[in-house]
């Protein structure tokens, strides 16, 4: 059985869409305890599900690994690594909140849904899109608190001490 077809599972798709909606809109708009927990529940449902679809012979390991990774990620032990990554210019933020551990109760449900013998018939290109979109959703989480980004504010003026022609020439050399 092609386990990639499991990515057509409505529970999986809804959890990924909920993760994206929550991280990119709801957290910025409402910024409360509910939106924080919602990301944890949606992410913990979908992340090992995706990994298991990509590596079906290691399903149990994917779920246990996710559990352990989440526990470490939500602890202060990973702070030196986060500081190092931030120091090289990659913005990484997470909140240490042990109440987030309650979201781990979703893992057995996700495992149960994944292991059910139901498959969904979708075109391979759509399954690949779902897999790529899901992977990006896990990497592109919310902005750190207090950082309001206005994506419509792109009309900025820049001045240079040389001509427009020189600017274009320098950009072309890059």
CA 103, CA 123: separation in Å to the nearest integer? 32
CA 56, CA 33: separation in Å to the nearest integer? 34
pLDDT in the model for residue 148: 54
pLDDT in the model for residue 41: 97
Give phi and psi for 50, each to the nearest 5.
-65, -45
pLDDT in the model for residue 146: 54
- For residue 143, give its domain range: 3-173
Signed CA dihedral, 161, 164, 167, 169: sign only: negative
Residue written as token pair 């509910």 = 34
CA 78, CA 165: separation in Å to the nearest integer? 48
pLDDT in the model for residue 89: 85
CA 166, CA 174: separation in Å to the nearest integer? 13
Residue written as token pair 């994917």 = 62
| Contacts of 102 by beta carbon, 8 Å cutoff, 6+ apart | 37
Domain count, the chain: 1
Contact 9, 120 (CB under 8 A): yes
Contact 22, 83 (CB under 8 A): no
pLDDT in the model for residue 128: 94
Per-residue pLDDT of the chain (174 residues; tens, 9 = 90+): 588 999 999 999 999 999 999 998 998 888 888 998 999 999 999 999 999 999 999 999 999 999 999 999 999 999 999 999 988 988 888 889 999 999 999 999 999 999 999 878 899 999 999 999 999 999 876 555 555 555 455 566 778 888 888 888 888 887
DSSP string, 93-114: -----GGGGGGGGHHHHHHHHH
């Amino acid at each position: 059985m092609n386990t990639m077809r499991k990515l057509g599972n409505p529970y999986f798709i809804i959890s990924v869409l909920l993760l994206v909606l929550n991280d990119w809109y709801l957290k910025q708009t409402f910024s409360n305890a509910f939106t924080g927990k919602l990301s944890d529940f949606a992410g913990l449902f979908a992340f090992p599900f995706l990994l298991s679809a990509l590596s079906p012979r290691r399903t149990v390991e994917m779920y246990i690994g996710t559990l352990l990774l989440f526990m470490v990620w939500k602890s202060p032990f990973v702070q030196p690594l986060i500081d190092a990554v931030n120091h090289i210019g990659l913005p990484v933020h997470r909140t240490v909140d042990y109440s987030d551990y309650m979201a781990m109760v979703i893992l057995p449900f996700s495992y149960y849904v994944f292991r059910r013998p139901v498959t969904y018939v979708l075109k391979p290109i759509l399954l690949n899109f779902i897999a790529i979109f899901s992977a990006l959703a896990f990497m592109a989480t919310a902005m750190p608190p207090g950082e309001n980004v206005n994506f419509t504010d792109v009309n900025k003026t820049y001045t240079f001490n040389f001509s427009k022609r020189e600017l274009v020439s320098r950009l072309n050399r890059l």
